[in-house]
Amino acid sequence: MSKVGFIGLGIMGKPMAKQMVLKGSELYVFDLVESAMNELEALGATKSTPAEIGSLCDVVFMILPHGGIVKSSLFGENGVAKTLKPGAVVVDMSSVTPVDSKYCYDELKKNGVFFLDAPVSGGEPKAIDGSLSFMVGGDEEAYERVLPLLKQMGSSAVLVGGSGSGSTTKLANQIIVNLNIAALGEGLVFAMKAGVDPEKVYEAIRGGLAGSAVMEAKAPMIMNRNFKPGGKISINHKDIKNVVNTAHELDIPVPLSAQLFEIMQGLKVRGLLDEDHGAIVKHFEALAGVEVKKGER
């Protein structure tokens, strides 16, 4: 059995790594938070450093907060890339820009190392139950090698195209998800302010065209005032910023995403970045002077 590295044991990474250990991978893990590594070690993983992971492992998974940390973890003074062997595969599951992904691909390719950008969709709940969706960019040869490992963490994986394609697909996903949450929030606030029980509105429309996976996940959280993060506003704020910046570089108009970014900026000023992105509703609540609650009107 080949050795597998895993770097980044945060909200998403920790349950994903647990799925891999429980499904038979010989996992070597690293995170700056010691307690996170201890949890994985208790399940059978081995605590390591990035350099050790590079020297020991044929495949290295990473899921980190942003592209700068990804690049420093790979190419920094004690980075993984210094000890990786030719033929190894790095799979970056972070949400970064296509530019970041292509940079990593090109730099690693110089040393005969494969790089896949493979961000995920599904949030913490699907990370916990192992049913994430992967959108992958890079070489087909590397994708086929790691596909059995991706399936330890997720229920689907699609090779979208060449390097950067996975990251582009993730940004498209984040546009759709976060604007859907914003529309849901605005609609529930509208119903609440108009004097209609938002729970009844949800029950009435969830089976129609307005219904969605986003509605099923976020409407109950909003009405129960449960903003414990499965996907923090901070992460999605970063993703929408990446959308706007990438769109500007490519001359793609994204007026709704630009407005959503400013909404998130307002939530940042209010100190709400660590709440679940369902808390986007709080922007519309503040404008309307109401709070959406279950069973009230």
Q: How far is CA 282 from the centre of its chain?
A: 22
The per-residue pLDDT string of the chain (297 residues; one tens digit each, 9 = 90 and over) reads: 689 999 999 999 999 999 999 999 999 999 999 999 999 999 999 999 999 999 999 999 999 999 999 999 999 988 999 999 999 999 999 999 999 999 999 999 999 999 999 999 988 889 999 999 999 999 999 999 999 999 999 999 999 999 999 999 999 999 999 999 999 999 999 999 999 999 999 999 999 999 999 999 999 999 999 999 888 999 999 999 999 999 999 999 999 999 999 999 999 999 999 999 999 999 999 999 999 998 765
Give the residue among 58, 69, 64 at the shortest CA–CA distance from 27.
58
C-alpha span between 160 and 166 (Å, rounded): 6
Kindly name the residue from 14, 71, 102, 170 that is annotated as catalytic.
Answer: 170
* Annotation says 170 is catalytic: yes
C-alpha span between 34 and 36 (Å, rounded): 5
> Which residues, at least 6 apart from 259, have a Cβ–Cβ distance to it below 8 Å?
none
List, in order of start, the domains of the chain with CATH numbers. Answer: 3-161 (3.40.50.720), 168-288 (1.10.1040.10)
Instruction: Convert 152-169 to b/e letters by CB count within 10 Å (16 or more is b).
Output: bbbeebebbeebbbbbbb
For 165, half-sphere exposure in the C-beta direction (CA atoms, 13 angstrom radius) is: 15
pTM comes to 0.89
121 phi, psi to nearest 5 deg? -130, 140
C-alpha span between 169 and 183 (Å, rounded): 21
With vertex at residue 40, the alpha carbon angle to CA 28 and CA 231, rounded to the nearest 5 degrees, is 105
- 3 state DSSP class of 265: helix
C-alpha span between 187 and 49 (Å, rounded): 48
Q: Which residues pair with 76 in a beta bridge?
A: none
